[in-house]
Amino acid sequence: MKVEDERLMDISPTQIRIPTALKKRIISSAKSRNETISSEIVHRLEESYANDTNEKLAKLEEKLDEVLRRLGDK
């Protein structure tokens, strides 16, 4: 089985209600990226979660730096 076929089998149809203005923005973004509306929504959600993860990693790095500085002071 191709990787693309496996990805398609792992898609769960979902209905959501969103404000009309937001839907128009999504449609506009999808057109400008030459993507489907569904692909645009998935892209933006994945990007959002990636940003959350990056922020958490940055905070952990700051804490680790602080701990290492404290250990170096002893």
Q: Walk along the chain (74 residues) and give the pLDDT tens digit of each residue.
A: 455 556 667 888 889 999 999 999 999 999 999 999 999 999 999 998 888 888 888 889 999 999 998 898 76
**Does the residue 13 lie in any domain?**
no
Q: Return the pLDDT at 51.
A: 81
Query: In degrees rounded to 5, what are phi and psi of residue 45?
Result: -65, -45
Domain contains 24: yes
In a domain, 64, yes or no: yes
Give domain status of residue 33, yes or no.
Answer: yes
| Residue 8 counted as domain residue | no
Residue 32: inside a domain: yes
Structural domain range at position 42: 18-73
Asked, for residue 4, whether it belongs to a domain, the answer is no
| Strand, coil or helix: 53 | helix
Model pLDDT, residue 7: 64
Neighbours of 16 (CB within 10 A): 5
The domain tally of the chain equals 1
pLDDT at 74: 63
Question: Which pTM does this prediction carry?
Answer: 0.62
Residue 1 domain-assigned? no
- What pLDDT score was predicted for residue 8? 62
